[in-house]
Structure 1
């Protein structure tokens, strides 16, 4: 175990955590403001990845593909909210779960009908295909550095939007006390649609940027949606700051655990046991983290409702 390996995995954890934040931020706002459990959130991530890959292949430009994926997914998300999800706001959580799960299945089948069942290829920009020497002897993929930079910029922009603008004030008011926000004259319908569109755009950023690193395939949003729900539970429902901190914690714990737990078990129990037990044990570390946080702070690290 070397210092280079530790630094590399720490940067991988930071990159994964920031991408989780892009999904969790929109999900926690929808859950916190609208009080709605949206299982179709992962489908927006998948749609963003597919749109990015399709336009990038057709145009030969990754930037054009990512821009088209963001705009197209935001419009799709707002249309979805306006036509279907708006009718679920006043329903109980079980109805919301069943309704959005049905949307998830329809999105999967729609993507399969349009692009086929096979994964499609999304290549990173050729200028960022190689590694970059951060300091002497330490190289790191340039594309992953781009993902980290974009994630930090989006997090900063979202923080300024939430804390420094009138729209952000209405969003925070709705997350903290929805009834009071209604009484103070907030245009809730437009606010809900705008929040859903921003959340969909953030999903598209995550899907488009992670597309070259993971398979762009049908159903790719389900597993990462589970992690996004873990993040908002750890950070506090309705809290963007909590979503950021929870995402970074989950990203680092998941990445570092998958790398170092098998190594540690190999030294204690031998390679044969470590190869079988190590990955399974590493995969439950984030749920152990969630249990510890909830035992210490049942409302999450930074709850919106205090």
Structure 2
């Protein structure tokens, strides 16, 4: 942190001002003139929490993508289809059994097994051939999308959360004051908060696994110098198959999450593949903290853009990507090679 402040004093000041503004806007009472510009505080807080929870969903998708694309250098443009397949599978399990948590397990296993097939059949035969991987995985994504359209049709599906996660919860954040001085507090769906906490837990565990375990050391060493690691007797292909399966399984879990507080429908695969690409580019390829920060930035930009700049909401996310590429091409947390 100190080194960043010493190297980038202007950007550090800008980040501090932005964070200070958000802290004040969230916890302080808004003056009337401020509400004339930014609208009601309740609208602002809803957009803020919607952006955080949407960022959590983007992180779950992009974390698997950053393992496969950013860390292993496999260009898997079928990742969005894995997300949508996980959502459909989770919906089927939840409707059939009534167990919401079981849908996460089944989606992770099934999509993870499909990831193993993709790694063994496709990517192992095309190592280092980015163009071939791109074209083949685009074809695979089209085939998977058509198969899912054939099986589930073009309807919208939503996974119902269990009763203990239904309904809103009151947050200790004041949205307004009544004429008698009584405070009005923000209420927010508890299922979104639980999903956000789950994404935080997944992110922390992934970072610890990659940076504090022997398996993580082998993965990073295999990416940097695969031949040297293989010469030591490590079966690097087996390690990469497991990593690919885990990244694909995370996409399946994200599909269940997306189907719970949004919905599953044709076209979601393209949307979340594009979001994952933007998150990885902004955060930095192969960086779990970068994926988390990038997902948070894109989620907040998308939600605040839809509230305050509805005409240019889509442009805002790509503008962020362009600015990052212009000033830091390797991403916010990416490493220069």
The TM-score by the shorter chain falls in which range? 0.7 to 0.9
Structure 1 residue 218: Cα displacement? 3.0
Task: Please tell me whether residue 301 in structure 1 is matched to residue 327 in structure 2.
Answer: no
Quote the Cα distance in structure 1 between the aligned partners of 2:203 and 2:73: 23
Contact 1:122–1:211 (CA<8 Å) still a contact in 2?
Answer: yes
Greater C-alpha radius of gyration: 2
Quote the Cα distance in structure 1 between the aligned partners of 2:329 and 2:84: 31
Contact 1:175–1:304 (CA<8 Å) still a contact in 2?
Answer: no
Quote the Cα distance in structure 2 between the aligned partners of 1:305 and 1:241: 16
Q: Runs of 5+ in structure 2 lacking a partner?
A: 1-38, 173-183
Equivalenced residue count is 288
Task: Please tell me whether residue 232 in structure 1 is matched to residue 280 in structure 2.
Answer: yes
Write out aligned runs for 1:92-241 (5 A): 92-135=129-172, 137-178=185-226, 180-182=228-230, 185-241=233-289
Structure 1 residue 84: Cα displacement? 2.6
Calculate the TM-score normalised by the size of structure 1.
0.87
Quote the Cα distance in structure 2 between the aligned partners of 1:96 and 1:296: 29
The CA RMSD measured in Å over matched residues stands at 1.9
Quote the Cα distance in structure 2 between the aligned partners of 1:143 and 1:42: 23
Contact 1:30–1:196 (CA<8 Å) still a contact in 2?
Answer: yes
Structure 1 residue 287: Cα displacement? 1.0
Change (3 A) 1:32 1:121: closer
Q: Which residue of 2 aligns with 1:68?
A: 106
Contact 1:133–1:140 (CA<8 Å) still a contact in 2?
Answer: yes
Calculate the TM-score normalised by the size of structure 2.
0.80
SS of 2:280's equivalent in the other structure is: helix
Quote the Cα distance in structure 2 between the aligned partners of 1:205 and 1:119: 18
Structure 1 residue 166: Cα displacement? 0.7
Q: CA offsets per residue over residues 213-269 of structure 1, 9 Å max, x none?
A: 3331233211111111011111111222211111111111111111122xxxxxxxx
